[in-house]
Structure 1
Amino acid sequence: MLGLGIAALMAQAALAEDKIISTHGYSYFGDLSYPADFPHFNYVNPDAPKGGEISLAASGTFDTLNPYALKGVPGSGTPILYESLLAEDPLSNTNWVPADAYGESYGLLAERLEYDEGKTWVIFHMRPEARFSDGTPVTAHDVVFSHNLFITQGIPSYAEAVKKRILTAEALDDHRVKFTFADDPSRRSMIDQVGSTPVFSKAWYERTGAKLNESRLDPAIGSGPYVLDSFDVGRRIVYRRNPDYWGWDLPVNQGRFNFDRIRIEYFLDDAATFESFKAGEYLFRSETSSKKWARSYDFPAVQNDWVKLEELPDGLPPGASGFVFNLGREKLQDKRVRQAIALAFNFEWTNESLQYGLFKQRHSYTQDTDLEAKGPPEGLELDLLKSLGDVVPAEMLSDPAVMAHSSRADGLSDRRNRRQAMKLLDDAGWPVGDDGKRRNAKGELLTLNFPIPAPSAATLGGIIENFMSNIEQLGITPRYETIDVSQFTLRRRERDYDMLFASYYPLTGAGTGLRQMYGSEAASYSVFNPAGIASPLIDAIIDASLETQSQAEEDAAMRALDRALRYEFAMVPVWYNDKHWVAYWDVFDHPKDQPPYQLGVLDFWWFDAEKAAALKAAGALR
C-alpha cells in the first residue's frame, strides 16, 4: 500500500508539472484584472481624439538616438520607437501597463502565451499582423535576434544576468518563440523579462551592420506607434504618430498614444527652460522644483487661466533618491563614517528654508506602501529573517526599522547631530588635527568628492552647498563640482565619485532585477546600483524573496529587504513628493480618474483642438 501511495503521489506531481497555462496576459501568481475580451483599460478615454502636438522640455543635450548605446547621452523619448511581446509603456520610468494594476502585463506583439506551471519555459504566440514601421513583418526570428543582441552587446550587468537565467531562445516557427529558463537561480521575473525586451528588426541590423551598443543618430526601426520625424542635435527631437501603425485596433492601445506629434525641446539651463514655457515655446511641464511651484507660477498666462496648474495623485512609491555613497571607496566602507556624513544633512531646515515646506522626509525604499518596514519585524517577515541564520544581525530581529534622523529646523547646523557625527568619526579613526581637518593614521585627509550635472545646479546646487557646509564643519574636506551632462554620465558609469545625488528604483515586488539593483553579483559595475551595494544580508533576502509562494510571503520579503537596505545605509535619504506637479497650456485633457501608477501624459492624455483654437484667438499662442 505504501508503494502504491508513493506511486500515486509521483503521478500527481508529474501531472502538475505537465499542466500548461494558456493566457492573454501574465502575472506571477496568475491573477489578472482584465479578462481576455476586455475592450480597453478602465482608466483611458477610448474616444479620446487623435491629433495635435504635445511639446515638452529636456535638459542638457544629446548625442545619440540609440537608447541602448553604452556611450553618449541618448535623446529623450527614443524607446517609444520599439515594442515588446507584452505591453509596456516605453515613455515612463516605470514601464507600468496597465497603470491601474500592480504586476500585470497583457499581450502586445504576442496575442497569447503559454507556460508550464513550474515556469521552466514560455511560448509566446505572436500576432501575424504585427509590422515594423517599414512594413516588414515582426517575427519570432526578430525576437530571438533581439534577445541575443542584448546578451552580446547590451549593458554588461544585464547581459550577464540574462545569460545565467535564460538557457535558450528559439523560434519554433515564424510566429512562435520559446524561452527556456535555468533551474537555478529563481525563475521569478523570467517571463516578465523576456516579455518586455524590445524587439528589433533583424533585417535592418544585418543590412546596416549597426551594433546595439554603439552611439549613432540613425535609430533602428521599430514597430511602435511613433516614428522619428526629425531632430537637431542638442536642440530638439520630433516624433510623429505612424498612421500605418499595425496595432491601433488592439484593446491594449485604445485611448492611448493620442498625439500626432511629440516635440521635445532641449535647454542648457533651467532658467531658460522655464522662461520658454512661460512664452509658450513648449506647452507641458512636470515641475520638480518646490521653489518654482511655490513662487514662480504667477505669470500672466496663469492669471488669465491660459496655463493650468494641477496636483495629481501619485500612487507609486517614490524613487529611492538621496545622497548615494560610493561603497567602493575604502574610506566610506565604515558605516560610522557614512552615518556621520548623513547627520550633516538637515532635512527640516532644507525643506522649510529652501523647499517651501512642500516635501516629506523619505525613510524607506518603498515609502508609504504596505511594503514599508515599520517597527520591529513580526509575523512572516520575522519568520523569514530568522530562517536566514547568522547573516542577519541580531539587532535587526528586535530593533525598529532604521529611520532618517531628525534635525532642528531653526538653523542649518544642528548641534546635537554635529556632536554625534564628530564622535562617530573619532571612533572610526578619523581624528581632527590642529588645522581642523580630519586625517587617518596614514595622514590621509578625509575628503568627499561630489559631482552634479550642470542642468541640476539651479535646483539642487543650493541644497548640496548647504549640506557640504555642514560636512566641512565636521572636519571633512568636501569638493563639490558642477560638470556637463556628458562628463557626469561618464563619471557615473565609471564610479568616479565619492558621493552623488541618485535614485534606486523603489521596491514594488520580487524579481531577479533586484540582483542588478541591490545584489553583489554585478555590484562593481551595474549602472542600476550606483552605491555598489554588495551585502551577504541583502543577497540572502533577495534569494529568499524569489522563492516565495504567495503574495503575502512576497510582501513580507520586500519588507525585510527594505529593512535590510536601511540597515546597510548606502545613502542619505532625502525628500519625496506624493503628487505630480504639472503645469500645461490649456490645450490638453486627461481622464478624470487618474490611475495610481502613471502620470501618463504621453500615454493617455490628448489634444483638445477647440481649446487650442480659443487660445490662439486670444493671442495667447501662435
Structure 2
Amino acid sequence: MPNRPNALAIAAKRDAKASLLKQWLLGSIVGVGALWLASEVFADGHEVIIESHGYTNFGDLKYGPNAVLDYVNPDAPKGGEFSQWAQGTFDSFNLSTRKGVPAALSTIGYESILTSTADDPYGAYCYLCETLEYPESRDWVIFNLRDDVKFWDGSTMTAKDIKFTFELYLEQGITEYRNIYSQFIESVEVLDTYSIRFNFTESAPRRDVVTWVGGTSAFSKDWFEETGTRLDESSDEPFMATGAYRLDEVDIGRQIIYRYDPNWWGADVPINQGRNNFETIRIEYFADSGAAFEGFKSGVYAFRSENSSIQWATGYDFPARDRGWVKVEELPDGSIGSGQGFVFNLNQEKFQDPLVRQAITLMVNFEWMNESLFYGLYERPESFWDNSDLKAVGLPSPEEIAILQPLVDEGLLAASILTDEATIPPASTTSERPLDRRQLRAASALLDEAGWIAGDDGMRRKDGELLEVTFLERSPQFDRIINPIVENLKRLGIAAELERVDTAQYIERRRAGAFDIVNASLGQGYEPGQQLAQFFGSEAAEDSSRNPMRLKLPAADRLIDEIAAAESLEELTIRTRALDRVLRAERFWIPQWQKGVHTVAYYDMYRFKEIPPLALSPLDNWWYDAEAAEALRAAGAFQ
C-alpha cells in the first residue's frame, strides 16, 4: 500500500514510551488467527490499542489474515449460470425503503467493511479494510481501508464513500433503524483517504459497536450526488457499489439477470477464493410456488430450495428426476431455527388480551398438520433460538431468576415467570382430525373468561362486537394449512377467514399494520445484541418491518439492553434465555413448523465441497460443472 498518515497517530498522540511498548507487544503477543495487543492504560490516560485483521467478542477468530475458507474449493472453475425462482413481482432494487416491492437479490453486489463466514458464528473479518484498531473501552474504532477497492464504474472507494453511506442510512434509512441506532454514534471522522474513525456515545452498547459500523456498505458518494438517488425512494437499479455481481438484464416483474463483473477488484483476495463462481445468476418470477415447480420440472430454472412438504414428499417423481437429470437432497443445517410462525397484530384491541391469543393458538393442531399435510417432515418451533444454547428450557435457572426477579418486583412481569416452565406450543391429543375437542373446550373456557360469550347463533361477542379474525396471506400454498385453522376457529364461535392478496398488497398492508394475523420469521442469531430492538423493542413497534406484531413490552426492552451490555458468552446466554422465556410467555407468536435440514433439488450440474454449518449459500461457494451442463443440454433437459 502507498505511504499515508498513520491512523493510530491521528487517533491519539502517544509518547515514545507508549509506541515502543506497543511494538514490543505486537511482536510478542501474536495469537493464532489475529494480532491482539494487550490492553493497558498508561499514566497519561492513553490506552494501548488493539489492532487486528478481524473482531470477535468471544474466543478467537477462526481464520487468520489471508486465509482461504475451509468450506470452499479454491480451485473451483468459474463460469456458467445459476438460476432460481422468486414469487410475485417487483418494481424496485432498493431494500431500504417502504416504497415499492424490492427485487430478489437486490443487495447481491453490496460489500461491507467487515464480513462474516458461514462457519464462525462470532467472527467478523476485515474485508474492505486491511486492519481495524480500537481501545478496550471500544469508545471508537478505526478502519484502515484497502486502497484497491473499485466501484463498478472504475472509481476508487475511499473513506469519504464509507462516511457518506453510513450517514445516508442514519438520515434516510428505514425508521426502525434510524430511531434505534442514531443515538449510538457521536461522530464519524475521515482521517485520511483510506482511514475512517467512528466515535460512539456513552449509551452505545459496546459489544455491538464494532460489528455494527463494520457492517456499513460501500456506496459511491459521487454517484448518489450525480444521480440524485435517495435511500428512502424506490430505485429502478441497484446503487453504485463494489461487489462481484451487478445488474445485467431486467424484465420488470418477470426476470432478473446479474452478471459477474470481469473487473471486480476482489477476485484475488484470499477470502474470496473459491467463491462467486458463477458467470450469471438468473431469477425467474412466478405467481406462486405451484407454477414455479412446474417451471423447475421442465427446466426453466435449475435450483430449488423446497419449502413445501407436500411437493417434497410427493412431487419429485417426474421425468427429469427419473432420467437422472435432477438431484434431490437433504443437506445438513446447523443454523438457529427460523422462528417461523403466525403473529398477532397487538395494536388490535381484541388481541391485547392474552387469553384471546392463547385460545386462538389452541386451535392450531400441529400434530394433525404434520401427519396429514406435511408427511411427518417437520418439527414445531419452540423458541426464537431453537437449535442453540440460547433457548430457554424448563424452569428458570437461579441465574435467570436473578435477572427476572427485579422485573417482577417492579411489576413489569407476572410472578409466574419465576415458577413456570418455558412456554411451548400446545400439543394436540389427536393427529387424526384437525379439531382437537379437548383443546376446543379449553379455548372456549378461555374466551368465556375473557368476556367473549357465544350467543344463540354460536358466534362470540363482547360489548356487542363480533370476534373476527382474518389471516392475511399472499401464497396459495398456505390455503390448505390456514383453511382448517379457520374452520376450527369457526367451531369456537369466531368469525374467521383467510384473505389472500397479491404480493404488493401483502407487503403494504403488513408494513401499515392493516391485518389481524400474518406470517413472520423471528429467528435470531448466535450473538444477539441491540438489533433485537428492531424485532422486539417498543421503540420499533409502530414502524417496523421486523416487529410486525407491534410488541411493546417494557420488560423486553430492559432485557434487550442487558443482552446488549453482556460482556461474556455466559452472561449473553443467561440473559438471552431470560428474554426468550419472557417473549414466549406473551403468546404473540403461534409457532408453525421447521426442519433441521435443507431440502434442495437442482439439475446435476452444480457442485460444492461441503455445506458449512451456518448457511446453505449456493450462490457463495457452489460452482458450475460445464461438462455436466452440456450433457444435460444435449439430452434435452432445458427449455
Compute the TM-score of the two structures, normalised by the length of structure 1: 0.94
Change (3 A) 1:612 1:14: farther
Tell me what 2:536 maps to.
Answer: 518
CA contact (8 A) 1:17 1:116 kept: no
Aligned partner of 1:25 among 54, 72, 82: 54
Partner of 1:475: helix, strand, or coil?
Answer: coil
- How do 1:85-124 residues align onto structure 2 when only pairs under 5 Å count? 85-87=113-115, 97-124=116-143
Q: Mean Cα displacement is larger for which, 225-234 or 179-188? A: 179-188
Report the CA distance between 1:619 and its aligned residue: 2.9
> What whole-Å deviation, never above 9, does each CA across 1:162-187 have from its counterpart, x for those lacking one?
21111211211111111111111423
Q: Mean Cα displacement is larger for which, 240-249 or 384-393? A: 384-393
Unaligned residue ranges in structure 2 (runs of 5+): 1-39
- How do 1:528-607 residues align onto structure 2 when only pairs under 5 Å count? 528-591=546-609, 593-607=610-624
> Which whole-Å CA distance do the structure 1 matches of 2:483 and 2:510 have between them?
20
> Which whole-Å CA distance do the structure 2 matches of 1:325 and 1:17 have between them?
52
> Which whole-Å CA distance do the structure 1 matches of 2:66 and 2:606 have between them?
30
> Which whole-Å CA distance do the structure 2 matches of 1:487 and 1:374 have between them?
39
Partner of 2:441: helix, strand, or coil?
Answer: helix
- How do 1:478-497 residues align onto structure 2 when only pairs under 5 Å count? 478-497=496-515
Aligned partner of 1:200 among 219, 231, 234: 219
CA contact (8 A) 1:380 1:553 kept: no
Tell me what 1:223 maps to.
Answer: 242
Partner of 1:450: helix, strand, or coil?
Answer: strand
> Which whole-Å CA distance do the structure 1 matches of 2:298 and 2:495 have between them?
43
Partner of 1:77: helix, strand, or coil?
Answer: coil
Report the CA distance between 1:70 and its aligned residue: 2.1
> Which whole-Å CA distance do the structure 1 matches of 2:293 and 2:436 have between them?
34
CA contact (8 A) 1:17 1:118 kept: no
1:315 aligns with 2:337: no
> Which whole-Å CA distance do the structure 1 matches of 2:98 and 2:380 have between them?
34
Tell me what 1:232 maps to.
Answer: 251
Report the CA distance between 1:312 and its aligned residue: 0.5
- The AA in structure 1 aligned to 2:233 is E
Aligned partner of 1:500 among 518, 523, 528: 518
> Which whole-Å CA distance do the structure 2 matches of 1:49 and 1:107 have between them?
26
Tell me what 1:43 maps to.
Answer: 71
Change (3 A) 1:207 1:621: same
1:617 aligns with 2:629: no
> Which whole-Å CA distance do the structure 2 matches of 1:485 and 1:498 have between them?
17
Tell me what 2:445 maps to.
Answer: 423
Number of equivalent positions: 597
> Which whole-Å CA distance do the structure 1 matches of 2:573 and 2:567 have between them?
11
Report the CA distance between 1:510 and its aligned residue: 2.7
Change (3 A) 1:144 1:577: same
1:159 aligns with 2:216: no
> Which whole-Å CA distance do the structure 2 matches of 1:229 and 1:507 have between them?
33
CA contact (8 A) 2:332 2:611 kept: yes
Report the CA distance between 1:447 and its aligned residue: 0.8
Aligned partner of 1:137 among 156, 161, 165: 156
Change (3 A) 1:16 1:366: farther
> Which whole-Å CA distance do the structure 1 matches of 2:160 and 2:402 have between them?
46
Aligned partner of 2:103 among 75, 78, 86: 75
> Which whole-Å CA distance do the structure 2 matches of 1:552 and 1:251 have between them?
33
CA contact (8 A) 1:17 1:117 kept: no
CA contact (8 A) 2:304 2:600 kept: yes
> Which whole-Å CA distance do the structure 2 matches of 1:17 and 1:362 have between them?
49
Report the CA distance between 1:30 and its aligned residue: 5.7
Tell me what 2:414 maps to.
Answer: 393
Report the CA distance between 1:535 and its aligned residue: 0.8
> Which whole-Å CA distance do the structure 1 matches of 2:248 and 2:550 have between them?
39
CA contact (8 A) 1:344 1:413 kept: yes
> What whole-Å deviation, never above 9, does each CA across 1:57-115 have from its counterpart, x for those lacking one?
1111101122223211111111012111012xxxxxxxxx3101112111111111111
Change (3 A) 1:606 1:226: same
Report the CA distance between 1:291 and its aligned residue: 0.2
Partner of 1:179: helix, strand, or coil?
Answer: strand
- How do 1:456-475 residues align onto structure 2 when only pairs under 5 Å count? 456-457=475-476, 459-475=477-493
Tell me what 2:207 maps to.
Answer: 188
Identity between Structure 1 and Structure 2 (%): 46
CA contact (8 A) 1:188 1:512 kept: no
CA contact (8 A) 2:99 2:233 kept: yes
> Which whole-Å CA distance do the structure 1 matches of 2:444 and 2:48 have between them?
62
Unaligned residue ranges in structure 1 (runs of 5+): 1-10, 88-96
Partner of 2:466: helix, strand, or coil?
Answer: coil
> Which whole-Å CA distance do the structure 1 matches of 2:65 and 2:237 have between them?
38
CA contact (8 A) 2:460 2:493 kept: yes
CA contact (8 A) 1:124 1:177 kept: yes
Partner of 1:54: helix, strand, or coil?
Answer: strand
1:377 aligns with 2:396: yes
- The AA in structure 2 aligned to 1:557 is R
Tell me what 1:413 maps to.
Answer: 435
Change (3 A) 1:15 1:393: farther
Tell me what 1:34 maps to.
Answer: 63
> What whole-Å deviation, never above 9, does each CA across 1:236-279 have from its counterpart, x for those lacking one?
00000011100111122111100000000111122221111111
> Which whole-Å CA distance do the structure 2 matches of 1:69 and 1:81 have between them?
18
Change (3 A) 1:436 1:612: same
> Which whole-Å CA distance do the structure 2 matches of 1:600 and 1:313 have between them?
12
> Which whole-Å CA distance do the structure 2 matches of 1:384 and 1:507 have between them?
21
1:287 aligns with 2:306: yes
Tell me what 1:4 maps to.
Answer: none
CA RMSD in angstroms comes to 1.5
Tell me what 1:527 maps to.
Answer: 545
CA contact (8 A) 2:336 2:386 kept: yes
Report the CA distance between 1:16 and its aligned residue: 8.6
Report the CA distance between 1:472 and its aligned residue: 1.1
Aligned partner of 1:55 among 46, 71, 83: 83
CA contact (8 A) 2:41 2:48 kept: no
> What whole-Å deviation, never above 9, does each CA across 1:169-210 have from its counterpart, x for those lacking one?
121111111111111142332211111122210000110111
Tell me what 2:16 maps to.
Answer: none
CA contact (8 A) 2:58 2:122 kept: no
Compute the TM-score of the two structures, normalised by the length of structure 2: 0.91
> Which whole-Å CA distance do the structure 2 matches of 1:618 and 1:185 have between them?
60
> Which whole-Å CA distance do the structure 2 matches of 1:210 and 1:608 have between them?
40
> Which whole-Å CA distance do the structure 2 matches of 1:502 and 1:461 have between them?
16
Report the CA distance between 1:146 and its aligned residue: 0.6
Tell me what 1:3 maps to.
Answer: none
- The AA in structure 1 aligned to 2:120 is A
Report the CA distance between 1:501 and its aligned residue: 1.5
Aligned partner of 1:449 among 457, 470, 476: 470
> Which whole-Å CA distance do the structure 1 matches of 2:444 and 2:406 have between them?
37
Tell me what 2:376 maps to.
Answer: 357
